[in-house]
A and B are shown apart, each in its own frame.
Chain A
Amino acid sequence: KNEVEQSPQNLTAQEGEFITINCSYSVGISALHWLQQHPGGGIVSLFMLSSGKKKHGRLIATINIQEKHSSLHITASHPRDSAVYICAVRISGTYKYIFGTGTRLKVLA
Chain B
Amino acid sequence: NAGVMQNPRHLVRRRGQEARLRCSPMKGHSHVYWYRQLPEEGLKFMVYLQKENIIDESGMPKERFSAEFPKEGPSILRIQQVVRGDSAAYFCASSPLPLASQETQYFGPGTRLLVL
Contacts and interface: CB of A to CB of B under 8 A. Distances in A.
Chain A residues touching B, range: 20 to 34
Interface residues of B, number: 27
A85 to B, nearest CB: 12
Given A96-B56, A101-B41, A102-B42, A43 B107 contact: yes
Which one of B35, B45, B59, B109 has the highest number of Cβ atoms from chain A below 10 Å of its Cβ?
B45
Contacts of B56: 94-96
B1 to A, nearest CB: 16
Interface string B50-74: 0000011011000000000000000
Contacts of B99: 31, 48, 90, 95
A102 B41 CA distance: 9
Contacts of A94: 56, 58
Given A48-B104, A95-B56, A102-B42, A42 B109 contact: yes
A42 B58 contact: no
14 contacts: A31-B99, A31-B102, A43-B43, A43-B93, A45-B106, A90-B99, A95-B48, A95-B98, A95-B100, A96-B48, A97-B35, A97-B45, A99-B45, A101-B41
